[in-house]
Homo-oligomer: A and B are copies of this chain.
């Protein structure tokens, strides 16, 4: 029995690790701080301190009681746990407004994600260069994935094409997909799909906004009625 994963890391924790990572980078690069307490990290990450400690405890006991966590060491551990000690070759499919913005977005490349190839089906863009990379035809996908060792696919197509593109990615052996198209894609469970959906987010905001307004309106009505209590 080689290296048994000490405890399985809850998904909710995994989703917060990148936030801690960024906060720690700010501390290290910005102020050159050497130690950080769960309290301070919690403030930076916008969560509560107990949660930070519990999250970090899944990675192991990397803190020192009475002192806090060593920033550099924690940075290294989180980086390692997230698999960011290596580079991940990324392909973007769909070179419309969004695809273009993604291709030239810096935050994308900064942390070990290398955009290796762009794909589209439109003859008007296939062959052109975007952000220093040639746009290839979608039919080249499988070959390119093999050649370039692409491990992450980013779908930035219109919703109608997303499912097909997702299947092609899966067929080419890509196991991690980030879907920007506003539609659900169904794939076998061995492929991890995450969704980033603008209009969904706006609609959720709308729900809360509407609720606030509804309450305000009700309160207003109550006041007019002069209802006591």
Write the residues of chain A forming the contact surface with B, with a CB cutoff of 8 angstroms: 2-3, 14-15, 17-19, 21-23, 44-46, 81-84, 86, 88, 90, 97-98, 100-102, 104-105, 107-108, 110-113, 151-152, 175-178, 182-186, 190, 192, 194, 196-213, 218, 221-222
Contacts and interface: CB of A to CB of B under 8 A. Distances in A.
Contacts of A185: 46
B19 A83 contact: no
Given A184-B19, A184-B45, A204-B14, A198 B107 contact: yes
A196 B196 contact: yes
Given A46-B185, A97-B100, 20 more contacts: A2-B218, A3-B218, A15-B204, A18-B199, A46-B184, A46-B186, A83-B210, A86-B210, A98-B101, A100-B101, A105-B198, A107-B182, A108-B198, A111-B202, A113-B202, A152-B205, A176-B206, A178-B201, A192-B205, A196-B201
